[in-house]
Amino acid sequence: MKHLILAAAAAFALAGGASAQDAAIGTWQTEVDDGAFAYITIAPCGTAVCGAIARTFNSEGEYDSPNLGRQIVIDMAPNGDGTYNGQVWRPSNDRIYVGKMDVAGDALRLRGCVAGGLICASQNWVRIE
């Protein structure tokens, strides 16, 4: 009985958070923004997912950006239907925005919004891993 209770408690604790099977987990290529693009690695962070800049590229190829390792997707909480809510950091202006994310297969749409989510700019990313 004790093992059954512990198993049920563990299952309940994991059900609300990001799991290893989360659709957003992986490495994604951003769109070109201000002449550069990046590979973002999205992984679980608590009950949400977060994404950090893993590699950066410009017109000359891969380069060592000072933003390597910075978190760009911040605490995106899954809604259970392929959509997420959290925050997004935009390196080109060093601002954090209300973030929304939609994942469908190997496509991810990331939006950074102001005015309570009424005005958004978006990027479409593709999965590379």
Q: Which CATH number fits domain 2-127: 2.40.128.520, 3.40.640.10, 3.40.50.720, 3.20.20.70?
A: 2.40.128.520
> Under a CB-based contact definition with an 8 Å cutoff, are residues 54 and 70 in contact?
no
Using CA atoms, how far apart are residues 101 and 77, in angstroms rounded to an integer? 9
Number of other CB atoms surrounding residue 82 within 10 Å: 15
pLDDT in tens, 50-98: 999 999 999 999 999 999 999 999 999 999 999 999 999 998 889 999 9
The two structure tokens encoding residue 2 = 């004790």
For the residues 109-124, what does the mean pLDDT come to? 89
Q: pTM of this prediction? A: 0.81
Q: Could you tell me which of 26, 31, 32 has the C-alpha nearest to residue 51? A: 26
| Domain residue ranges in the chain | 2-127
Q: How open is the CA angle 99-23-36, to the nearest 5 degrees?
A: 55
